[in-house]
Structure 1
Amino acid sequence: MNELEIQAIFESKDQPEQQQIQLWVDAALDDYDRDTEIVVRIVDEQESAQLNEQYRHKQGPTNILSFPVEVPEGIELNLLGDLVICAPVLKKEALEQNKRLADHWAHIIVHGVLHLLGYDHIDDKEAEQMESKEIAILNRLHISNPYTEINDI
């Protein structure tokens, strides 16, 4: 079972409901055979920028930050990690990329969960592997390939 906690610090009328986010998280965890807990924190641009600078040493807000939990050996904990999503950035990106906002949310949630599972896109081989996994998951959700237009996550 995948438990999800939503912390909606920023709210707007076009944000997905918890059950929609749960569907996307579950889809990303479909091949994962352990119970998990994930916290999704939806924030404004100010909090996103602050966290992005503090943890990634990059200026400005970003669409998502993933914080995987590193559990010490011998401790049983189902918490996979936290996702911090900047709703205003997602909305702006969806408009700029000519994508449905809900599809962009789905992509970013799947992308973040894969980061929590250890996937990354630091080098080309890892990026290709992660992107193909994202595309397959989104395809099962009937969402088109998010990389056909832009490759900038």
Structure 2
Amino acid sequence: MINFNYETEFTLENEQAYTDWLSAVIVSEKKNEGEINYIFCDDDYLHKINVEYLDHDTLTDIISFDYTVGNEISGDIFISVERVEDNAKDFNVSFEEELKRVIAHGILHYCGYKDKTDKDAELMRSKEDEKISMFHVEQ
């Protein structure tokens, strides 16, 4: 079950399209869908979590808490909408594209992908691109 929660003014348009997409991403990685909660928030909200739980005094776009057991992926994924907006400008992409990248990034971590080394980050980026291309909105 995929849930979307909002701790800021932002809301996803077409939540069902995102739910369908994320379910397909999970299946494409041969994983089972557990309970996944996305929490959209602002920089201050996510900074407090970063300091309190990870002892990092920095701004970030995403923090995920992985509760995966075996092949069933579950967890809480916090996303700063402010960071996504700034990163979209920095990377010269649309807000929607950067948001999809970050949303997929959290799921890919739960599927076992890492991004601490250059090699791992390159694979993560490739997987993000692959998963973003799977997003479709019914017309």
TM-score by length of 2: 0.81
Any idea what the Cα deviations from partners look like across 1:34-76, whole Å, max 9, x if unmatched?
23220001111111111112233322321111110154x8xxx
User: d(CA) in 2 for partners of 1:80 and 1:51?
Assistant: 19
SS of the aligned residue for 1:36 comes to strand
Q: Report how far residue 96 of structure 1 moved.
A: 2.6
SS of the aligned residue for 1:41 comes to strand
Closer, same or farther: CA 117–50 of 1 in aligned 2, 3 Å? same
1:81 corresponds to? 75
Q: Is the 8 A contact 2:26 2:33 kept in 1?
A: no
What fraction of aligned residue pairs are identical, expressed as a percent? 26
More helix by share: 2
Residue correspondence of structure 1 range 117-128 to structure 2 within 5 A: 117-128=111-122
Which one of 70, 84, 87 corresponds to residue 90 of structure 1?
A: 84
SS of the aligned residue for 1:140 comes to coil
Structure 1 ranges of 4+ moved more than 6 A: none
TM-score by length of 1: 0.75
Unpaired runs of at least 5, structure 2: none
Q: Is the 8 A contact 1:63 1:85 kept in 2?
A: yes
- Tell me how large the CA RMSD over aligned residues is: 2.4
Q: Is the 8 A contact 1:9 1:44 kept in 2?
A: yes
Which one of 10, 13, 18 corresponds to residue 15 of structure 2?
A: 18
The one-letter amino acid paired with 1:109 is: I
Closer, same or farther: CA 24–106 of 1 in aligned 2, 3 Å? farther
The one-letter amino acid paired with 1:123 is: T
Aligned length: 135
